[in-house]
């Protein structure tokens, strides 16, 4: 059984990147350490009942209800999760349970707050199992494409490395915002490249064409009028700024000091207006794939 150099290289580079991006200490995190205990018996049935219509029974994002959605339902098997709280940006059971409990405002992912916490935890674990199964398939497919054999134990090791969350990112205390802190936050917002996507005023009408990891057109959030997917709490805004939103063009900002992060969070929080825009999927799609975008591809209809 021979493994090609190129495949081994891809895999081990992948491992070291995941490793370096992780806790930054000398040992990999132990798989399963963050999973809280739960007694719910049949997560698969719960998933089929509450989630499969959009996410598909096997989690590939192709449920019958998903066709008309914008953004589309997440493909758990192939795509990244946006709302993460861990240093290595790998979702923990808590991260997924929080999404299930609160939903993702401004999208069709609604809050499943009527399910019990045990049910949500069981669902979160099930979703993460689907993610692991998808990653396993991808690795095996890649090996097949490169016409190489790959040992099952190696596949398992990679899957563990890529799906094991590190500890939670540490955040500073935010306290109440002051006019000075918001002013400093505004200066940081301008200096940190945020306007290139969100515009000077946060409304995000910039002319850049953005795509998500699946090459679907997307666009920066209007920070004044649209709901935030993680909600408007300061902790959530801080996590999105510090860790980015994996799978989208919104970047992480690991180099901001704690006091800079506090100021930037206060500024983003201060931009937020109520009531929020309540766009339909069609409106969201039109904004992301409007004529400007089609023109850029040379596909706009002749006027």
Binding site for ligand HEC (CB under 6 A): 50-51, 53-55, 65, 69, 71, 73-74, 81-83, 96, 99-100, 104, 107-109, 112, 123, 127, 189, 192-194, 196-198, 210, 218, 220-221, 223, 228-230, 236-237, 240-241, 245, 248-251, 253, 264, 268
- Of 107 and 181, CB closest to ligand HEC: 107
- Of 40 and 150, CB closest to ligand HEC: 40
- Of 9 and 49, CB closest to ligand HEC: 49
Q: Least distance from C-beta 258 to ligand HEC, angstroms?
A: 15
Nearest to 96, CA basis, from 106, 84, 107, 108: 84
- Of 143 and 268, CB closest to ligand HEC: 268
8 Å CB contact between 87 and 169: yes
Distance from C-alpha of 138 to C-alpha of 76, rounded to nearest angstrom: 13
DSSP-derived 3-state class of residue 278: coil
8 Å CB contact between 139 and 107: no
Q: Which tokens go with 12?
A: 């081990």
Distance from C-alpha of 36 to C-alpha of 172, rounded to nearest angstrom: 25
Return phi, psi of residue 95, to 5°.
Answer: -60, -45
Q: Which tokens go with 130?
A: 């689907």
- Of 108 and 166, CB closest to ligand HEC: 108
Q: Least distance from C-beta 20 to ligand HEC, angstroms?
A: 22
Q: Least distance from C-beta 161 to ligand HEC, angstroms?
A: 20
Q: Least distance from C-beta 68 to ligand HEC, angstroms?
A: 10
- Containing 163, the helix (H) or strand (E) segment is helix 152-163
Distance from C-alpha of 12 to C-alpha of 191, rounded to nearest angstrom: 36
Partners of residue 168 on adjacent β-strands: 86
Q: Least distance from C-beta 91 to ligand HEC, angstroms?
A: 6
Distance from C-alpha of 51 to C-alpha of 35, rounded to nearest angstrom: 21
Q: Exposed e or buried b for every residue in 81-115, given b needs 16+ CB within 10 A?
A: bbbbbbbbbbbbbbbbbbbbebbbbbbbbeebeeb
Q: Least distance from C-beta 1 to ligand HEC, angstroms?
A: 37
8 Å CB contact between 171 and 241: no
Nearest to 263, CA basis, from 234, 302, 221, 220: 234
- Of 124 and 158, CB closest to ligand HEC: 124
- Of 73 and 287, CB closest to ligand HEC: 73
Q: Least distance from C-beta 229 to ligand HEC, angstroms?
A: 4
Q: Least distance from C-beta 219 to ligand HEC, angstroms?
A: 6
- Of 79 and 143, CB closest to ligand HEC: 79
């Amino acid at each position: 059984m021979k493994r090609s150099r190129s495949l081994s290289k891809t895999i081990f580079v992948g491992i070291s990147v995941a490793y370096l991006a992780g806790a930054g200490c000398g040992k990999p995190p132990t798989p399963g350490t963050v999973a809280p205990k739960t007694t719910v018996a049949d997560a698969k049935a719960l998933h089929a009942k509450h989630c499969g219509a959009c996410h598909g029974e096997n989690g590939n994002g192709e449920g019958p209800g998903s066709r008309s959605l914008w953004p589309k339902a997440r493909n758990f098997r192939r795509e990244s999760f946006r709302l993460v709280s861990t240093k290595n940006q790998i979702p923990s059971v808590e991260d997924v349970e929080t999404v299930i409990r609160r939903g993702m405002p401004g999208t069709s992912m609604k809050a499943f707050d009527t399910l019990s916490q045990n049910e949500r935890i069981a669902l979160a674990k099930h979703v993460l199992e689907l993610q692991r199964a998808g990653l396993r398939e991808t690795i095996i497919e890649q090996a097949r494409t490169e016409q190489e054999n790959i040992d099952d134990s190696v596949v398992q090791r990679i899957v563990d490395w890529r799906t094991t969350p590190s500890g939670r990112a540490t955040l500073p205390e935010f306290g109440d915002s002051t006019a000075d802190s918001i002013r400093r936050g505004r200066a940081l917002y301008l200096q940190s490249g945020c306007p290139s996507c969100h515009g000077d005023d946060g409304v995000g009408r910039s002319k850049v064409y953005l795509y998500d990891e699946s090459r679907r057109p997307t666009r920066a959030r209007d920070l004044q009028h649209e709901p935030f997917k993680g909600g408007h709490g300061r902790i959530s805004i801080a996590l999105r700024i510090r860790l980015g939103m994996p799978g989208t063009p919104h970047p992480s900002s690991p180099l901001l000091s704690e006091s800079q992060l506090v100021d930037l969070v206060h500024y983003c929080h201060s931009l937020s207006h109520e009531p929020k825009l309540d766009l339909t999927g069609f409106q969201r799609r039109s904004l992301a794939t409007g004529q400007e975008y089609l023109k850029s591809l040379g596909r706009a209809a002749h006027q």
